[in-house]
């Protein structure tokens, strides 16, 4: 992954920051804080984790240019929006969506495991 891909991590992280803040403001305005788990996950898995991934890949270029980094990027960025949407639906009462939420969560876990393997193998 070249520098543009670290930039992609940062740009996507900022989108999650905006979404997390918007959801937080909506909950504050409405007085309904029932979606606080979604708010927390958007901020942690979206804003914080993605910004850190970008910083780590920029700091350690050997991590960024391999197949593990590409798998991490695509799995994480395909699973995270599905995970957030299905968590929102599940907390809203749609319990039938739970299997999709579970699969998206497992894919996120796999992406994080791939990142960890990449760090252990290639960080110098």
Closest Cα to residue 79, out of 98, 99, 103? 103
The band of 4, judged by pLDDT with boundaries at 50, 70 and 90, is low
Q: In sequence order, which ranges of the chain are alpha helices (DSSP H)?
A: 3-30, 36-41, 49-59, 61-64, 67-91, 98-122
pLDDT digits (tens, 9 = 90+) for 86-117: 999 999 999 999 999 999 999 999 999 999 99
**Is the pLDDT reported for residue 3 higher than 80?**
no
The band of 14, judged by pLDDT with boundaries at 50, 70 and 90, is very high
pLDDT at res. 1? 44
Q: What gap in Å lies between CA 52 and CA 67, rounded to an integer?
A: 19
pLDDT digits (tens, 9 = 90+) for 21-59: 999 999 999 999 999 999 999 999 999 999 999 999 999
Instruction: Give the number of other Cβ atoms within 10 Å of residue 4's Cβ.
Output: 7
The band of 5, judged by pLDDT with boundaries at 50, 70 and 90, is confident
Is the pTM above the cut of 0.85?
Answer: yes
Structural domain boundaries of the chain?
Answer: 3-122
The band of 68, judged by pLDDT with boundaries at 50, 70 and 90, is very high
């Amino acid at each position: 992954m070249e520098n543009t891909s670290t930039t992609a991590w940062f740009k996507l992280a900022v989108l999650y920051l905006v979404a997390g803040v918007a959801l937080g403001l909506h909950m504050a305005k409405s007085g309904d804080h029932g979606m606080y788990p979604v708010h927390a996950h958007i901020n942690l898995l979206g804003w914080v984790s993605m910004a850190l991934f970008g910083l780590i890949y920029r700091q350690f270029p050997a991590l960024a240019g391999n197949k593990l980094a590409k798998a991490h990027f695509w799995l994480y960025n395909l699973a995270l929006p599905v995970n957030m949407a299905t968590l929102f639906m599940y907390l809203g009462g749609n319990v039938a969506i739970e299997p999709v939420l579970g699969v998206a969560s497992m894919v996120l876990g796999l992406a994080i495991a791939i990142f960890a393997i990449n760090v252990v193998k290639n960080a110098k």
